[in-house]
Structure 1
Amino acid sequence: MKALTDSTTEVVIAGAGPTGLMLAYELALAGVETLVLEKLPERTEQAKGGGIQPRTAELLESRGLLEPLLRRAVPGEPVGGHFAALPVPLDCSPWQTRHPFPIAIPQGEVVAVLEERAVAAGARVRRGAAVAEVEAGAPVATGTAGAAAVEGDDDAVVVVTADGLRVRARYLVACDGGHSTVRKLLGLPFPGRPGTHQAVLADIRLSAVSPLVPEQVGHMSALTRQAGGYWAMLVPRGGDRYGITFGRAGQADDPGDTPVTHQEVDTALQAVYGEGTVLGAVENASRFTDATRQLEQYRSGRVLFAGDAAHIHPPLGGQGLNLGIQDAFNLGWKLAAVVQGRAPSSLLDSYHAERHPVGAQVLHHTSAQRVLAGPRPSEDVAALRDIVIDLLRLPDANRHLAGLMSGLALHYPLVGEHSLTGRRIPDADLVTDAGPTRLSALLRSGHAVLLDLSGAVRSDLSLPPRVDLVRATATGSGSSGTGTATGGEAGTVLDAAALLIRPDGYVCWATDNPAAHADTLPAAIADSLGLAATP
């Protein structure tokens, strides 16, 4: 270990992947001093997640982050999502969204945009800084304690890196992946099911292609092939670049850190796509399994977990990157409020309460997909596939699974009598005193929004910090397959006279009669957001 250099920050994040960088942006946007520690010395185009689901697209748009990502997206006609790679596209249009199709974009491009924006907002990213020690004090609030290390205290957590930095912070958030060093240092169990098979994910260049190679991104069911004992999925990414995922029956599992060789990829390509397909280069590659695991608690005192550090699952349905980014949106505003003294530390327990069931649900349905998507189904599984395909052709069943896979159906169990409470708010067209706008634009600052659609909320209302009062009239549903709101009655989206929207785009309070809450509204707002009582 090198001689240590001491540093302080309000929040330290382990891991500069999509989850860690999204969280860093959220915290920096709120004015929280944030340091991201990343073990890799430089950003790599590592082959991993390759798509943004509709709900993630909505969240990114609410921060002005979607447009730069769309410029880096893989070109191609939009196509619906999938469940278990079955040949029926999922239709998200009934969910009133401007983004009814998944967006194909390599994870490296997502990381590049998020890092650029996080740093511009004030976050610091230190690369080549692998976490080596974590010194955590006694647990606070109701989180489950891990194995605390030597000299932490109740007011801070200390992280020591292999390159000689000792950082003292109010909180540590582990976003350091499925093999999380932080999780291991704290001795936290990662219960679940080990993998049953191994596969390879790689970014490659082809110097020649056969007619079997797809020309553009299509539905998942059309991209998967089997031949020569292999199964493979080849995804065009523009020009001679492709992403490939492959495996074969009876393949001995290599250790996860065993390098993927050029010959290994070439053999699979030749077997599935023919001799006319010539591998030019393997840009990066990794191995993965279908293991399924989840932390029992996403909070351990002053240490929190998000993304793959908290949950891993088979990469079916394009859930992983999206689940992590949505973890970050849920945690970011809450952690900022606690660090800045606007909320008690117990608000952080709501992060676990809300996101752990979401992660468990993803583990559950990816397990079901693993059975249906197996490359060599038994006669019984083949019969089950036929039944599920028929069900997917029914509008109600398709809508249900579209909402599940896209994240648009998520409904947090928040306290409140109004039907909108706990639901995401679609990106409706609005007219304010400043002119036409969209609801997503109101969330650009990362503030909560008290949206008054009736004009009945008092103008002299005393609001907590980072809560904006906006008076508006709704003019459209915010629902279209082209990205422009068209048709629909606004009432089907904003069916309330006033509603309080959290920074992560979920309604936490709503009323049809604001006048009835004239005297209690400030307290209701603070309570609904979990904020400390205003003196």
Structure 2
Amino acid sequence: MGYDVVIAGAGPTGLMLAGELSLAGASVLVLEERDGAERAIMTGAMGARSVNAPTAHAFHWRGLLPAVREAAIWWYDPESAGPGSPDEAKPRFVGHFSGIVIRYDRLDFGHPDFAAHRLGAGVISQSALETVLAERATALGAEVRWGRGLTGFTASADGVTVEAGGETIRAGWLAGCDGGRSRVRKLAGFAFPGAGPEFTGIQAMVEFDGPGAPPVGEWTPTPAGAYVHGPVHGRLHTVEYGRTADRDRPVTAAEIEDSLRRVAGIEVKIGAVPVATRYTDTARQATEYRRGRVLLAGDAAHVHSPFGGQGMNLGLADAMNLGWKLAAAVRGDGPPGLLDTYTAERHPVGDWVQRWTLAQTALGRTDPASRALREIVTDFLDTGPAATYVTTRISGAWQHYDLPGEHPLTGRMAPDVELADGTRLAEHAHDGRFLLLTDENSAQPAAHSRLTVVTARPPGVPALLVRPDGYVAWAADTADGADGAVAAVLGPSSSERAFAGGRDDHRPARPRG
């Protein structure tokens, strides 16, 4: 049985990638070793994951945002919570830097990066998001097998042979989306350098057995680390520097009691522990995201502390960037070197997240110099410019790709502008094709199977060529030159490929075997 792509891992990254590839016509199999019981830990407050600006943009670009908002634990809607609104004065959580909470009323909403928040942002459980993305992927034709993980593989120049549950599966490509301890990464021999852990964190939903529970509140630094009880009653989180633990060993009530005693000096008796997890601040990144027919995305490509809520968003952006490029490799109609731009574009963003989280580890250290620095940074973050800077960085609104062109929109998330025909630009992007916004009377590009042309550019809006991942490949104040931009970015037209004997449809190029 053959597939164009086998994806190891059905977390948000793997499922997003499965949807993107299936949308482009590839045949996809997703293998996930977790079953339903193991996924249950990722529900509710324990599974809470932030949704930042690039992720909201990606969901909106594919028409998924309504389903995500409906499934979210909490959602920030700028139209009902922005300056001048009835809800403006209400305190709301914005984010934190190394546990230092950023105040909403310090933010400068005139900063240009806040324009990227028109779609909002929020928090969703990983399990709920996996459900949304799995339903989308399977509706598009992907096959997802729960409780059946990849156990091994061999790769050659023309494909990959995967072993899973005693079955041998032939595929054209293998994508490792199987987490921080990725089997795909290890078996493929990717280099994974970085920094070892300085602290161990424990997150748990607990039931207290008697009095003494700490009050629900904000992060509290202590001589041993930091702790927080919240944002809901029963959710405990400790960070303990200079202490390591076996991550494979289940977290027990006694371990949580001991950690809270050491970190906070609090004596408390814990009864049941419905869900708990242990993590460290290890920061490592693969030096490359592709080795031949094997690629990495999400935590398989980079691991770091969860401070700042970057992990899931980083993986989803990997999937959006990789999806259309790998689909082009499957079809054989992408320009030379396209798949190698995946590492070139995504590795710098992953490197930034590494440094961002390492800085927060340093700021949380318990030595006197670090504590003195923390006091200064706390005061600094209580100012408008600093709070705005950190918030816009956490939001991901600054992220862009270094693409050719002088226009300020080039390489950035495409704006979802209202068009002259009353539609919005994102409504034309749900099918995952390139999108050209131009004028009806301008020179039109040759027909491309991967391009949608919209001739409804309103006054004052630049002409745009938008990639399938929602980033602007070309922009200009006039539509002159749009046909040349299309030819440069997409390569030969459909008729030219057909004349040369190339493929010009979306039928998957299924591997032999």
Question: Structure 1 length as normaliser, TM-score?
Answer: 0.80
How many angstroms does 1:223 deviate by? 2.4
Per the alignment, residue 56 of structure 1 pairs with 55
- Residues 68-125 of structure 1: CA distance to partner in whole angstroms, max 9, x if unpaired? 2222322487532232232334748432024576412222222222112211221111
Q: Is 1:22 the equivalent of 2:13?
A: no
Which SS does the other structure have where 2:116 is aligned?
A: coil
Which residue of the other structure, out of 339, 345, 359, is the alignment partner of 1:368?
359
Which SS does the other structure have where 1:131 is aligned?
A: coil
2:225–2:239 Cα contact (<8 Å) kept: yes
Which residue of the other structure, out of 461, 467, 472, is the alignment partner of 2:456?
472
- Residues 270-307 of structure 1: CA distance to partner in whole angstroms, max 9, x if unpaired? 885977x8756423222211111111110000000001
Whose helix fraction is larger, Structure 1's or Structure 2's? 2
Per the alignment, residue 422 of structure 1 pairs with 411
1:432–1:470 Cα contact (<8 Å) kept: no
Change (3 A) 1:186 1:522: closer
Matches within 5 A, 1:259-338: 259-266=250-257, 279=270, 281-338=272-329
Per the alignment, residue 70 of structure 1 pairs with 69
2:57–2:119 Cα contact (<8 Å) kept: no
Per the alignment, residue 507 of structure 1 pairs with 472
Which residue of the other structure, out of 422, 427, 431, is the alignment partner of 2:419?
431
2:335–2:491 Cα contact (<8 Å) kept: no
Which SS does the other structure have where 1:348 is aligned?
A: coil
Which SS does the other structure have where 1:9 is aligned?
A: strand
State the number of aligned residues.
471
Aligned-pair RMSD on alpha carbons?
3.1
Matches within 5 A, 1:105-144: 105-137=124-156
Partners of 1:330 and 1:135 lie apart in 2 by 25
Change (3 A) 1:450 1:206: farther
Which SS does the other structure have where 1:346 is aligned?
A: coil
Which ranges of structure 2 fall in alignment gaps of 5 or more residues? Answer: 76-90, 500-513
* Equivalent residue letter for 1:417: E
- Range 517-526 or range 411-420, more displaced: 517-526
Per the alignment, residue 401 of structure 2 pairs with 412
1:204–1:282 Cα contact (<8 Å) kept: yes
1:204–1:284 Cα contact (<8 Å) kept: yes
Per the alignment, residue 487 of structure 1 pairs with none
Change (3 A) 1:295 1:304: same
1:92–1:100 Cα contact (<8 Å) kept: no
Which ranges of structure 1 fall in alignment gaps of 5 or more residues? Answer: 1-6, 138-153, 215-221, 476-490
Q: Is 1:246 the equivalent of 2:238?
A: yes
How many angstroms does 1:442 deviate by? 2.5
Partners of 1:521 and 1:345 lie apart in 2 by 17
Q: Is 1:182 the equivalent of 2:184?
A: yes
2:17–2:323 Cα contact (<8 Å) kept: yes
- Residues 451-481 of structure 1: CA distance to partner in whole angstroms, max 9, x if unpaired? 12x54433x5323212111133559xxxxxx
Change (3 A) 1:45 1:129: same
How many angstroms does 1:249 deviate by? 5.3
- Residues 22-78 of structure 1: CA distance to partner in whole angstroms, max 9, x if unpaired? 111111122211100111233612345522122212211222222222223224875
1:212–1:273 Cα contact (<8 Å) kept: no
Change (3 A) 1:389 1:225: closer
- Percent identity between the two aligned chains: 39
Per the alignment, residue 79 of structure 1 pairs with 93
Change (3 A) 1:207 1:509: farther
2:437–2:457 Cα contact (<8 Å) kept: no
Change (3 A) 1:339 1:273: farther
Partners of 1:396 and 1:249 lie apart in 2 by 31
How many angstroms does 1:227 deviate by? 6.7
- Range 165-174 or range 418-427, more displaced: 418-427
- Range 260-269 or range 462-471, more displaced: 260-269
